[in-house]
Amino acid sequence: MNKRSILLTGATGYVGGRLLKVLEAQGHTLNCIARTPAYLRSRVAPTTRVFAADVLDKESLRAGLAGMDTAYYLIHSLGESKGFEEQEKVGAQNFAVVAKESGVKRIIYLGGMGNEGEELSPHLRSRHEVGRILRDSGVPTLEFRASIVLGSGSLSFEMIRALTEHLPIMIMPRWVSVLAQPIGIQDLIGYLVQALDIPIEASEVVEIGGADQLSYRQLMKEYARLRNLKRVMIPVPVLTPRLSSLWLGLVTPLYARVGRKLIESIKHPTIVTSNRAHELFALRPCGAAEAMRAALENEDRKFAETRWSDSLSASGTPRSYGGYQFRNRMIDYREKHVEATPQLTFQVIESIGGNKGWFGYDFLWRWRGILDLLVGGVGMRRGRPTHRSLRPGDALDFWRVEEVERPHKLRLLAEMKLPGRAWLEFVVQPQTNGSVIQQTAIYDPIGLSGRIYWYCVYPLHALIFQDMIDSIASRVMRQPRHVRLLQNRER
């Protein structure tokens, strides 16, 4: 791999954000442009330079493109309402002119799949037009055309997830049966990175896709299989893109107009018709099932690394919050300050379970254990380890210790019978005048029954989880002041 000087556009977007981390890890000289640089600067490495620029303002592009030999163009206007086609055209023209004048040797562009012989949607037509403008710029341009992108957070994957999770019975309009060739986000990033060194003498269009040709209906069936969901799918002869988009707006996180553009873009088959990607690249993409499995696993990993206090505080949300939702997960977050060292605070938290109970409403915890036994679960009989501290893998009533990081984090995985997966996490953050306890209950519902369960028990959760953190803080504060702050004074 040769080190490059690279300009990356779209770094705040889904694909661009993933690509940014890979390019930084490979040690390239990297410039990024953004209309709001402050939003991006907190996400980039210290070596990455961020410039304020807008492709609709040609002169603003010059500083970021100066001295760059490669430029990624990953800008699309899917969320725009009116006039997006003209805006995308002007933006591409400005970028093409400045890239040529700045001596850029290669442009890499990600567009959309679609047969130009057919009547394309405005969205796909615009993407093809942007590709044509960049290819005609005089700078050799490698234009990728992709169909559905499967990855945690991608537009198509989130639509598949929301529809399949929320609707036990689904109406299937004609567009869900049209064939596509979905590609996993990791494979897409692989193509974009390898494109830096692929020898091309002139501009090229390269169609890329995964190993399978599937419809949205088949993708939803595969997602349901991965999540152990039973779904009934009823085909209907018509459902216009406009009606479909309004329907999507009710049951998915997509805005109606974004959903409409997405549906309009998949009315026609979007499958690979050329072998050029196979000839140019060594990469062999995975199938749709593997891509969706990887998306779910990646989401679990990223979710485990998330500090909910940071995201909630940054958004201006109150410090204790019982109704937060992140993608498919439901969150109950509570926070409490105590005048005690992290070590003492964590000792109290780690004593949870078994004969010492769950810091309040123990009778409700016991009733939950009895119900769990009645449906074939483990109940509350297992207690906790005696005469030693908790370790990863330990049973703790109907929980399992998943992670212990003293005196910072305790994370428990629920093993009671649930229509979903659940975790209970405690994090202790040091402060100059004590510690902050961050308590997070996390629930990943499986299907509609999982969501109904959450909302039915939520009134009890609100009582239990607030009392839990209050009781932890109270037990910590019962210690004499000189004991609670001893280590702080020693420092």
- Rounded to an integer, what distance in angstroms lies between the CA atom of residue 341 and that of residue 265? 57
Both 105 and 192 in one domain: the answer is yes
Percentage of residues of the chain with pLDDT beyond 90 = 49
CB 352 within 8 A of CB 359: yes
Both 274 and 363 in one domain: the answer is no
- Choosing from 265, 281, 300, the residue where a domain stops is 300
pLDDT in tens, 335-377: 999 999 999 999 999 999 988 899 989 899 999 989 988 888 8
Which region, left, alpha or beta, applies to residue 327 given φ > 0 means left and ψ of -120 to 50 means alpha? left
**What Å distances lie between residue 474 and 285, 359, 409, CA to CA?**
55, 10, 19
- Choosing from 256, 278, 300, the residue where a domain stops is 300
CB 162 within 8 A of CB 224: no
CATH code of 265's domain: 3.40.50.720
**What Å distances lie between residue 161 and 117, 185, 253, 422, CA to CA?**
32, 16, 10, 18
Domain residues for the domain of 83 are 5-300
Both 137 and 252 in one domain: the answer is yes
Both 207 and 329 in one domain: the answer is no
Instruction: Output the pLDDT for position 436.
Output: 92
Burial of residue 437 (number of CB atoms within 10 Å: 0-12, 13-18, 19+): buried
pLDDT in tens, 382-434: 888 888 889 998 999 999 999 999 999 999 999 998 998 999 999 998 888 88
CB 398 within 8 A of CB 365: no
Both 285 and 323 in one domain: the answer is no
Count of residues in the chain: 491
Instruction: Output the pLDDT for position 78.
Output: 59
Q: Which of 466, 485, 479 is nearest to 335 (CA)?
A: 466
Instruction: Give SS3 for 73.
Output: strand
pLDDT in tens, 440-463: 999 988 888 888 888 888 888 888
Both 58 and 145 in one domain: the answer is yes
Q: Give just the sign of the alpha carbon dihedral 23, 28, 34, 39.
A: positive
As beta bridge partners, residue 325 has 330
Which residues have CB under 8 Å from 225's CB, separation 6+?
Answer: none
Both 265 and 310 in one domain: the answer is no
Burial of residue 402 (number of CB atoms within 10 Å: 0-12, 13-18, 19+): middle
CA atoms within 13 A on the CB side of 403: 14
Is the preceding omega at residue 269 within 30 degrees of 0, hence cis? no
Report the number of distinct structural domains present in the chain.
2
Both 182 and 49 in one domain: the answer is yes
Residue stretches of the chain with pLDDT short of 70: 1, 77-82, 117-118, 238-266, 302-327, 482, 486-491
CATH code of 435's domain: 3.30.530.20
Both 283 and 315 in one domain: the answer is no
Both 127 and 46 in one domain: the answer is yes
Per DSSP, 158 falls in state H
Q: Which of 367, 372, 369 is nearest to 383 (CA)?
A: 369
As beta bridge partners, residue 184 has 150
Which residues have CB under 8 Å from 333's CB, separation 6+?
Answer: 308, 309, 312, 320, 321, 322, 324, 438, 439, 440, 441
- Choosing from 300, 335, 351, the residue where a domain stops is 300
Instruction: Output the pLDDT for position 241.
Output: 58
